């Protein structure tokens, strides 16, 4: 997906600001990898990882920024997967990129194995989810990020494959997760990619957003997780409507790692 295509779609959908946050997964035993979907002139297209040309990426973003000046603010962020699995590498990449915004998330369990590959039918799903949340709490407490991304991520795959979980059993862990985030002055993401998928799962669903706010959470960002142009703006509109209905007054965006708040109109 070209950065300029993303910008065009965002403007068409009435957005005034976007932050590009493609994935960069950190592994314990492999080099970092991204499912990088931006394309441009830079070498970063195929060489994600330590060798990635972040300067080329920044140059391309800068070019599109100029083209859209006055119409759309374009921030450059990153979704950093499980930085705890190789903290030095994570730190080095972040220092190189100097992102506006970091989504911290967990994609692998216990290390280096993406959730996508799990055969949930053969697993103790309850224990697995508990372990997932522990891993997220570890990230929330000790590593660098601005918001925790899609904090109920396993539910995407579980639901798609016909499994369900009673989240009330994990109330203590969610409380610990949210309290840790809040204590560090950080936030969580409302990931609305599920709006565009066949199986609709919001990550997290609204009761957990309300719990986060009840505990004093103030920083809430909204992310479309779009991998194709059609998904750039539409789910955000619907997601904002859902938040408004749930009583959420404002969301945050980030510039140079600092939150900026926007009332939901």
Interface ranges with Zn ion (CB under 5 A): 105
Closer to Zn ion at the Cβ: 72 or 150? 150
| Between 68 and 149, CB nearer to Zn ion | 149
Torsions phi, psi for 16 (to 5 deg): -110, -10
* CB 59 to Zn ion: min, Å: 26
Q: Do residues 243 and 251 lie in contact, with contact meaning Cβ atoms separated by under 8 Å?
A: yes
The first and second tokens of residue 67, run together, are 């083209």
Nearer to Zn ion by C-beta: 34 or 233?
34
Residues shown for the chain = 265
Q: Which of 208, 219, 153 is closest to 175 using CA atoms?
A: 208
Q: Please state the φ and ψ torsions of residue 248, each to the nearest 5 degrees.
A: -80, 130
Residue 105 or 226: which CB sits closer to Zn ion? 105
For residue 247, give the DSSP letter: T
Task: Check residue 196 and report its DSSP letter.
Answer: G
User: To the nearest whole angstrom, how small is the minimum distance from the Cβ of residue 41 to Zn ion?
Assistant: 26
Min dist. Cβ of residue 22 to Zn ion (A): 10
On whether the CB atoms of residues 172 and 130 are closer than 8 A, the answer is no
Nearest residue relative to Zn ion (C-beta)? 105
Shortest Cβ 79–Zn ion spacing (Å): 5
Residues forming beta bridges with residue 78, ordered by sequence position: 102
In whole angstroms, how close is the CB of 6 to Zn ion at the nearest point?
A: 17
Q: Could you give the CA distance from residue 118 to residue 148 in angstroms, rounded to a whole number?
A: 22
């Amino acid at each position: 997906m070209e950065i300029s295509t993303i910008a065009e779609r965002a403007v068409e959908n009435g957005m005034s600001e976007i932050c590009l946050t493609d994935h960069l997964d950190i592994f314990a035993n492999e080099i970092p990898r991204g499912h990088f979907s931006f394309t441009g002139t830079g070498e970063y297209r195929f060489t994600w990882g330590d060798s990635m040309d972040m300067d080329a990426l920044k140059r391309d973003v800068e070019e599109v920024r100029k083209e859209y000046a006055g119409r759309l603010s374009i921030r450059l962020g990153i979704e950093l997967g499980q930085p705890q699995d190789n903290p030095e590498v994570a730190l080095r990449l972040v220092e190189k990129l100097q992102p506006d915004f970091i989504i911290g998330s967990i994609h692998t369990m216990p290390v280096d194995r993406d959730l996508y590959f799990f055969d949930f039918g053969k697993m103790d799903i309850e224990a697995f989810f508990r372990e997932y949340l522990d891993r997220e709490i570890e990230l929330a407490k000790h590593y660098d990020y601005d918001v925790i991304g899609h904090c109920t991520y396993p539910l995407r795959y579980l639901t798609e494959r016909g499994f369900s979980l009673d989240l009330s059993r994990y109330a203590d862990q969610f409380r610990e997760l949210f309290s840790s985030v809040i204590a560090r002055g950080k936030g969580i993401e409302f990931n609305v990619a599920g709006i565009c998928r066949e199986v609709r799962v919001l990550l997290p669903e609204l009761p957990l957003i309300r719990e986060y706010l009840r505990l004093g959470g103030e920083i809430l960002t909204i992310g479309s997780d779009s991998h194709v142009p059609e998904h750039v703006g539409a789910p955000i509109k619907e997601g904002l409507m859902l938040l408004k209905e749930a009583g959420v007054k404002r969301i945050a965006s980030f510039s140079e790692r600092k939150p900026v708040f926007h009332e939901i109109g």
